[in-house]
Amino acid sequence: MILASSIALGIVAAYLAVAILQIVRLRLGFRQALLYVPLKLVYRIRDRKVRAARAVQTPVIYAITHQSRLDPALMLSLLPEDTLHILDDESARSPWLEPWRALARTIVFKAEHVFVSRRLVRVLKGRGRLAVYLPDTIEPDTKTYRLFRAVARIALRADAKVVPIFVGEARYLPFSRSRATDGRRRLFPRLSVNTLEPITIAELMALSIKQPARASNALFDRLAEARLAAPDPKRSLFLALRDAAFRYGPHHPIVESFEQAESGRMHATLSYRQLFVGARTFGHRFASVTAPGEAVGVLLPNTADMVVSLLALWSGDRVAAMIKPETQSAGITTAIRTALVRTVVSSRSFIANAGLSQAVEAAEKGGAKFVWLEDVRKNITIAEKLVAAALWWWPVHMRQEAATPAAILFTSGREADPKAVVLSHANLLANARQLEARLSIGLDDSLLNLLPVSRTFSLTGGIVLPLLAGARLLLDREALGSQREAAIAAKIRPSIILGNDTSLAAHGRLAENFNLSGLRFAMVGTGTVDDETRRIWRERFGARIVEGFGLTEAAPVVSINTATHNREGTAGRLLPGMRMKLEPVSGIPQAGRLLIQGPNLMLGYMRASQPGVLQALGDGWHDTGDIVDVDREGFLTVMGRAGRIASVGGEIVSLDAVEALACQLWPDGQHAAIAVPDKHKGEQVTLVTTADEPDLLRQFGRLAGASDRLIPHDIITIADLPRLDSGRIDYAAVRQMALQRLGIVAAA
């Protein structure tokens, strides 16, 4: 009896000691601490930001993303006791929540009066606090979005500060409010209470570039930023994807690959565990011929082996240098030397089937040696396989840092030599999570990636995003928009397709005889989408095409249209966590040169003039070189590159749009639109083309209803356009040629 009493007293003393610790740490009330302790111990809650949130001066609104039925108990335990909590009907009536409801004032949510009631404004103006639980929805419908409007209106009227709160991992609790397909339920996930600095709605609205933003949009974006703050920002790509494997289940099928082989069609499906086993096996082999932090070239098609190889490099703290196979030989040699690539991972069958022997020679000329996956696979021992199977979740290189380089992508821009854009683990993860905070994607989705992984959007949106979100990744080695490829898409029934206008237009034409039911949307990675392509997809598939704006330096997505915020003809709204500003451009009063800042912004450049030297961003802002217009709701309209715009008689003409018009008439031709001096109108547009009948363009433009501004003043026909080593058009050489032909060299 004495022993039992002693044990009981010891337990009570320990419980009280932990409660007192929370009182000291977080400034909780005594009753709050008593009820918080079991939650703290069971879910190992990270709560270091709570104390600052409690200390915010009134009036204040705590805007909580309501993910699970545990959220009210947690918030009633942590927020100041004088906070008025507006609960949903279930939380207001649940018997098990009664002890927590007694900690503070609560009222039941009623849509017809809560968010229009003057009482709440009076509560706030009387130096009060509100806790509002908003639905956990990434793309809210019109009815749900009214809640954001109402809360924003109350905060604006009361001039109250808003503190967003997001409980990380709460959506995976057994009593989550989310769909079962959003993630595997776990009994005891480790929770984290994430908050952002207090700010008023008026201050958020004032961040808009031109006119003040809408209050509801400002609040919606702020809560999305709190969602981004939930994951640990110090996790590397390998560790973050490993976390996803544990979250969704090691045996969850995650990668499905289709390949054409001599024996017929090959189909491989990998679970998370199989993916990581392969990565650890390959990772040891790659580590034996490279050093930590070294750039390793990747020249592979869209297959499961490519995903395994990327994960293997990240597991060993190697940097994946993504080589574009279509780049001309001189460009590949320069890229290899610029990034100091000494080893390239590739496949003999891919090189042979794609006819890339010249690319191999160019890489070897730059000083690189090849590691062939066929050889790696053949030489793997049974012992290596057993170790990889037993320790699949362990990285090859134990020290994993988010701020270190993860990938190098090559972009030529308009320069003579390619630039190497260096992206960190944090950059790629941030952009994938920014997309995840804007687009609804989860376990019941399957994403078909039609873009080569050497493109940044394919790497982030087509590899990292689905692996992070648990969506099945579908890869086709020969994703060329062919009849066969369209048939594959109909067979595997993806819910999301990632491609460009060319591949999506091909699907629209070829898939009319196939069933693509279940397709929700397509994401466009490069270029603009033709109106006809958009119409076909809407009418034939009932799916929307998600357009946006991006650049390699931003890993790459900057803005995007969504179901909630969508406006055709624009590049969508800025991703959460990003900031922008416009620098005035002479002659374009309604727009400006776009500068951006955000967690997805690159580490810096490597240039051919200084191989291997990282040139970091100076003040954290990056000049995109694009001229954009931004409306009150934050939608970006990209008018063109700073060097790809002509001012004709005071009117702005996009040279890219002129080229697009020529491509519609002559899709197989080569076209370059440039601006040349004109003494009467300042500038005129000249089209240099390989087409034989230039006069047809003027007739075609009028019949197509194109603006007169898009009809070039002069059209010059040549046999072939000069190109850079990267394969892109050399616009400087084209302009010089046109000036000579037009006899205005002196005016240049």
Three-class SS string for 86-155? EECHHHHHCHHHHHHHCCCEEEECCCCCCCCCHHHHHHHHCCCEEEEEEECCCCCCHHHHHHHHHHHHHH
77 and 192 housed in the same domain: yes
How large is the average pLDDT for residues 669-683? 80
Quote the pLDDT of residue 478. 64
The answer on 274 and 190 residing in a single domain is no
Instruction: State mean pLDDT over 697-710.
Output: 73
Residue 124 predicted with pLDDT over 60: yes
Q: Which one has a higher pLDDT value, 232 or 51?
A: 51
Please state which of the ranges 16-25, 63-72, 264-273, 602-611 shows the lowest mean pLDDT: 264-273
Rounded Cα distance, 263 and 240, in Å: 37
The pLDDT assigned to 526 comes to 64
Q: Say if 130 falls within a structural domain.
A: yes
Exposed, middle or buried by CB within 10 Å (0-12, 13-18, 19+), for 592? buried
Higher-pLDDT residue of 567 and 368 is 368
Q: What is the pLDDT of residue 263?
A: 40
For residues 477 and 596, state if they share a domain: yes
The per-residue b/e assignment along 655-688, b for 16 or more CB within 10 angstroms, e otherwise, is: bbbbbbbbeebbeeebbbbbbbebeeeebbbbbb
Report whether pLDDT(486) > 70: no
d(CA 514, CA 486): 8
Domain boundary among 598, 620, 639: 639
Specify the length of the chain in residues.
Answer: 748
Q: For residues 196 and 53, is the Cβ–Cβ distance under 8 A?
A: no
Q: Give the pLDDT confidence score for residue 264 in this predicted structure.
A: 42
The pLDDT value recorded for residue 479 is 54
Same domain, 631 and 696: no
Enumerate the H helices of 316-470 as residue ranges: 329-338, 348-354, 357-365, 373-379, 382-390, 425-436, 456-459, 465-469
Query: Same domain for 458 and 525?
Result: yes
Q: In this model, does residue 505 exceed pLDDT 90?
A: no
16 assigned to some structural domain: no
Pairing assessment for the beta strands 651-654 and 343-346 based on DSSP bridges: unpaired
- What mean pLDDT do residues 218-223 have? 93
* pLDDT confidence band for 746 (50 / 70 / 90): very low
- Compute the average pLDDT of residues 606-616: 92
Q: What is the mean pLDDT of the chain?
A: 87
Q: Which of 180, 208, 228 is the last residue of a domain?
A: 228
Q: Which residues pair with 46 in a beta bridge?
A: 192
310 and 192 co-located in one domain: no
159 vs 504, more confident: 159
Which CATH number fits the domain that encloses residue 727?
Answer: 3.30.300.30
CA distance 522 to 494: 10
CA geometry: angle at 298 spanning 294 and 301, to 5°?
165
Q: Which of 83-92, 239-248, 692-701 has the lowest mean pLDDT?
A: 692-701
Going by pLDDT thresholds of 50, 70 and 90, the confidence category of residue 536 is confident
Whether the predicted pLDDT of 315 surpasses 90: yes
CA distance 26 to 23: 6
- Spatial contact of 500 and 528, defined as CB atoms under 8 Å apart: no
Residue 502 has pLDDT above 90, yes or no: no
User: For residue 221, is it within any domain?
Assistant: yes
Q: Where are the alpha helices (DSSP H) in 169-271?
A: 201-206, 215-228, 237-248
Judging by DSSP bridges, how do beta strands 622-630 and 588-597 pair with one another?
A: antiparallel
Helix-, strand-, coil-residue percentages of the chain, each rounded to 5: 40, 25, 35
The verdict on 442 and 545 lying in the same domain is yes
Q: How confident is the model at residue 747 (pLDDT cuts 50, 70, 90)?
A: very low
Do 689 and 602 lie in a common domain? no
CA distances from 506 to 386, 502, 524, 564 (A): 45, 6, 14, 28
Q: What pLDDT does 527 receive?
A: 65
Asked whether the beta carbons of 501 and 528 are under 8 A apart, the reply is yes
Q: Is the pLDDT of residue 570 over 70?
A: yes
The pLDDT value given to residue 525: 67
DSSP 541: I
Residues 630 and 669 in one domain: no
Q: Tell me the per-residue pLDDT of 37-52, one tens digit each, with 9 for 90 and over.
A: 999 999 999 999 999 9
Residue 253 lies inside a defined structural domain of this protein: yes
Q: What is the per-residue pLDDT across 131-170, written as a single tens digit (0 to 9) for each?
A: 999 999 888 888 888 889 999 999 999 999 999 999 999 9
505 found inside a domain: yes
Note whether 634 and 676 are same-domain residues: no
248-262, 390-404, 505-519: which has the highest mean pLDDT?
A: 390-404
Q: Is residue 62 part of a domain?
A: yes
pLDDT for the residue 309: 97
Instruction: Summarize the confidence of residues 492-514 as an average pLDDT.
Output: 75
Residue 54 and residue 83 in one domain: yes
Task: Return d(Cα 434, Cα 577) in angstroms, integer.
Answer: 8
Number of domains composing the chain: 3
Average pLDDT of span 639-668: 76
456 vs 587, higher pLDDT: 456
**Is residue 391 predicted with pLDDT exceeding 60?**
yes
* Separation CA 299–CA 282 (nearest Å): 15
Tell me the CATH number at 533. 3.40.50.12780
Confidence of residue 116 (pLDDT cuts 50, 70, 90): low
Asked if residue 5 belongs to a domain, the reply is no
The dihedrals phi and psi of 747, each to the nearest 5 degrees, come to -80, -15
pLDDT of residue 239: 96
Whole-angstrom Cα distance, residue 66 to residue 476? 39
Last residue of a domain, one of 639, 673, 707: 639
Per the domain annotation, does 13 fall within a domain? Answer: no
Counts of helices then strands in the chain (DSSP H, E) = 27, 34
In sequence order, what are the residues at sequence separation of 6 or more whose Cβ sits closer than 8 angstroms to the Cβ of residue 471? 441, 442, 443, 445, 446, 447, 465, 496
pLDDT (mean) for 432-444: 93
Does one domain contain both 264 and 212?
A: no
Is the model's pLDDT at 333 over the cut of 70?
A: yes
Percent of the chain with pLDDT over 70: 91
Joined together, the tokens standing for residue 33 give: 């601490």
Write out the residue range of the structural domain in which residue 701 sits: 649-747
